[in-house]
């Protein structure tokens, strides 16, 4: 079986060392784990901001980097396995392991524990943060700032209803490859809803068809996924 190129960290000239003996490449190397240090970063098919956006990485997510050149890092998103190019400036050495995820549909991080101070963001639901301090109703996240702690949820505490999470995105515009509250696509919506409920979920629709079990239309219930063939321009 030919490995899915979307999920395989390999090119003819370079591949992850874990694929040695599986995928042919001129050279192999060990990826370097990096983390997204901006509210969101596009993952592109080529090292070019004009290229197709294939995925969207959220603050705190790990991106395993195999090469950095021309201002872009080529690697693999650890959360959903997608391979592509991310602007190198959006990445840095990973902070401490996340203690919380953003639970609000979107929120801001403030320079100080006050909503009257400079705000950065917005940070979208499922972004990952490591809380290092608390003051009043605020929690300070490494590399971000002070969040209203009610907008965060401890790692391991999840939503119960993916459909209810999806409904919170009502009004968000469609964005091909998007995965955030300011714009996302159909599979990104499903993935975000599932992640908020503590369930791993692939990035693309054809991969998501493998989730769960097939039922007849007469058996459909709230939270079921419906798939159909579509023609894209």
Q: Check if the beta carbon of residue 44 is closer than 8 Å to that of residue 54.
A: yes
Spatial CA neighbour of 84 closest among 53, 117, 115, 122? 53
pTM more than 0.75:
yes
Per-residue pLDDT of the chain (233 residues; tens, 9 = 90+): 678 999 999 999 999 999 999 999 999 999 999 999 999 999 999 999 999 999 999 999 999 999 999 999 999 999 999 999 999 999 999 989 999 999 999 999 999 999 999 999 999 999 999 999 999 999 999 999 999 999 999 999 999 999 999 999 999 999 999 999 999 999 999 999 999 999 999 998 888 888 888 888 888 899 888 888 876 66
Q: Check if the beta carbon of residue 125 is closer than 8 Å to that of residue 103.
A: yes
Residues 118, 33, 90, 201, CA torsion sign: negative
Spatial CA neighbour of 43 closest among 21, 65, 25? 65
Separation between Cα atoms, residue 138 and residue 18, nearest integer Å: 42
Task: Write out the CATH class of domain 5-92.
Answer: mainly beta
Q: Check if the beta carbon of residue 180 is closer than 8 Å to that of residue 126.
A: no
Q: Where are the domains of the chain?
A: 5-92, 100-154
Separation between Cα atoms, residue 192 and residue 77, nearest integer Å: 15
Q: Where are the beta strands (DSSP E) in the chain?
A: 15-16, 28-29, 32-36, 40-44, 53-58, 62-69, 72-77, 83-87, 91-92, 100-102, 106-110, 119-124, 128-129, 131-135, 138-141, 145-148, 152-154, 179-180, 183-184
């Amino acid at each position: 079986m030919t490995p899915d190129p979307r999920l395989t960290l390999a090119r003819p000239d370079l591949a992850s060392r874990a694929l040695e003996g599986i995928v042919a490449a001129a050279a192999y190397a060990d990826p370097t784990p990096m983390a997204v240090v901006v509210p969101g970063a596009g993952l592109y098919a080529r090292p070019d901001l004009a290229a197709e956006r294939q995925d969207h990485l959220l603050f705190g997510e790990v991106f395993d980097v195999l090469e950095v050149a021309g201002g872009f890092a080529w690697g693999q998103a650890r959360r959903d396995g997608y391979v592509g190019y991310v602007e190198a400036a959006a990445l840095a050495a990973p902070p401490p392991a996340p203690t919380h995820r953003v639970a609000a549909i979107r929120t801001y991080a403030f320079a100080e524990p006050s909503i009257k101070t400079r705000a950065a963001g917005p940070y979208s639901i499922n972004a990952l943060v490591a809380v290092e301090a608390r003051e009043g109703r605020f929690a300070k996240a490494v590399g971000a700032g002070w969040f209203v702690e009610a907008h965060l949820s401890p790692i391991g505490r999840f939503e119960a209803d993916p459909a209810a999470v999806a409904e919170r995105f009502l009004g968000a515009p469609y964005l091909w490859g998007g995965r955030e509250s300011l714009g996302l696509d159909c599979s990104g919506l499903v993935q975000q809803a599932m992640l908020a409920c503590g369930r791993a979920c692939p990035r693309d629709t054809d991969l998501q068809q493998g989730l769960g079990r097939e039922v007849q239309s007469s058996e459909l219930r709230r939270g079921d996924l419906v798939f159909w063939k579509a023609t894209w321009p």
